[in-house]
Chain A
Amino acid sequence: MRNALTGVERALFWTLAFAAFAAAAAGLGARAVDRLAVQYETQRNAYAIVRVLAPEGPAGLSAAESALRGAPHVASAAVMDAQRAAQLLTQWGGGEVLPEDLPPIRLLEIELRPAGPNVDVSGDVVAALAQGGVTAEVIEAPNTTAGGGAVSRVRTAALWGAIAFALVMAIIVSLSARGLAARRRELVTVMCDLGATRGQAAGRIADEAAVLGLYAGAVGGALAGVVALVVMLLVIPAATIEALPQMILPIDLAPIIAAPLGAAVAAGAGARAAASYFHAKAARLG
């Protein structure tokens, strides 16, 4: 790579590195959003409320609590007192709800273990309660309201947003690399005069741009990775240097690996197109 990192190419190098940094950061951000959404969905699915229909009163709640201890899918169960109910209603409803304003509560909160996709969790829990002499219904977090559908929409939006942003950055890299070809125009002209085919002349310039893009992308991707680690350490209380390897999944490295490859391809393609144009201009006058 002749003079690709010196002089005027330095500005181009940092332009490409910045674009690669932005694309990699967007990818890491999208991945973080995705992980948060999955975590939220998991927590949401692991929670349900049991409403005791019969027997009424504390005896019904106590029997239900006993039955739930051995019920399938149930990790824990706790009777919901008026204080907790008021707190939840305040949280969900927006306005303040006082415990003393509530009627007698016949609810239990249960935490569920993860189950397969085709398992009727509610049916199994209701059956276990019936065996314990309790008639009850299980209220799971619905998929149709804000919590359910929003998660998949957020994940999709994060994915396509990151892809769209990466494409925009690739276009910026590609257009910037055309500048490199413009500065190598005399080389293309000389090669053309000496009998180089369009592919030979454009290939040489494209190779140089691709190597520059690869280096710049590696620097941009590495910087994005460092920034991501710093943000994780600052934002996530549980994050420590020791815990980081477990927190970073292989897929989180994808944007960092894709940055140099993407920058190389985009820079090479942009430079090739421009060099081909310059070759065509040099090859045919008139």
Chain B
Amino acid sequence: MSRLNHTDLELFERGVLVRLSNVDAGYGAATVLMGVDFEARAGEVALVTGPAAAGKTTLTHVLRLALPPRSGRALIMGVDVGRASGRQLAEVKRKIGYVAETPTFIEHWSAFDNIAMPLRMIGKKPREYADDVRELVDFVGISEAADLPVEKLSGAERRRCAIARALAAKPHLILADDPTAGMSPADGRRVVRLLAEMRRVGAGVVIASQDESLADCAPILRWRLERGRLTQVDTSLPAETEASE
């Protein structure tokens, strides 16, 4: 029996990538997110800001299907997370590009191989993906380090490598958890612009960060998370300005 609901799929086809309705989530006895309502659409960038320990990382874990909601309904790309099978969740995960706060790599593999991994997982051969991966490597600005093992990369290069990997399989939804941590303000803004660029190819982007000024980098819908409660700051996208470009 299919656990996919046609109404949910229609929602996804209309561009609603994520819809959280009254979601509670947490770890062990602690409830971190309380009654969260959230929506992310294709071609839009959402910035979730909030102080440390507000629940930003927990929200990204819910969105990347690593943390099941305790209550409420989480609809990610037309799939109800609470009712989906392991295979369906894996399928949805393949449509999500995730940039962790501390990205995990196969450390002894080259940056190129790590970036190509999502493509290898969907069965592409090196000759099919080599050009695309090289292009990505150039796009994130780590051409010189592409053939080095990831363990030899600097913190900023690792972050860029993680972004490239997240974009490799042309995901529908891109999640970035504190992607500018440890970077200079200029580098951080460049990284956010890089991520925001993906809205142009129809992807939805969700960035979690403490830095509210990142909202100036691109047309971004702002959300505010405090003590596990999420509120929407902008109800419509600001117009694109030269500054945001």
| Chain A contact residues, CB within 8 Å of chain B | 3, 186-187, 189-191, 193-198, 200, 282-286
Q: List the count of A-B residue pairs having beta carbons below 8 Å apart.
A: 62
Contact B106 A186 (CB under 8 A): yes
The 9 lowest CB-CB distance pairs between A and B, nearest first, are A195-B94, A195-B93, A197-B90, A286-B27, A285-B67, A286-B67, A194-B118, A285-B66, A195-B90
User: Which residue numbers of B lie inside 8 Å of A, CB to CB?
Assistant: 25-28, 61, 64, 66-68, 86-87, 89-96, 98, 100, 104-108, 114, 117-118, 121, 165, 169
How far, in angstroms, from A200 to B89 measured CA to CA in the complex? 14
When distances are taken between beta carbons in the complex, the residues of chain A under 8 Å from B64 are 193
Give 11 A-B contacts (CB < 8 Å), ordered by A residue.
A190-B117, A191-B121, A193-B93, A193-B98, A194-B94, A195-B91, A195-B95, A284-B66, A284-B67, A285-B66, A286-B61
From A194, A282, A283, A286, give the contact of B117 (CB < 8 A): A194
Complex alpha-carbon distance, A6 and B27, angstroms? 39
Q: Are A285 and B106 in contact, with the CB atoms below 8 A?
A: no
Which of A186, A191, A196, A285 is the one whose CB lies under 8 Å from B107?
A: A186
Closest partner residue, chain A, to B85 (CB atom) = A197
Bound CA–CA A9/B94 (angstroms) = 31
Whole-angstrom CA separation of A284 from B165 in the bound complex? 21
CA distance A195 to B64 in the complex (A): 10
Q: How far is the CB of A184 from chain B (nearest CB, A)?
A: 9
Shortest A197–chain B CB gap in Å is: 4
> Once bound together, how far apart are the Cα atoms of A124 and B98, in whole Å?
89
The residue of chain B having its C-beta at the shortest distance from the C-beta of A193 within the complex is B98
Give the residue name and chain of the B residue nearest to A280 (CB): B86
Contact of B61 among A190, A191, A196, A285 (CB under 8 A): A285
List, in ascending order, chain B residues with CB within 8 A of A195's CB. 90-96, 118, 121
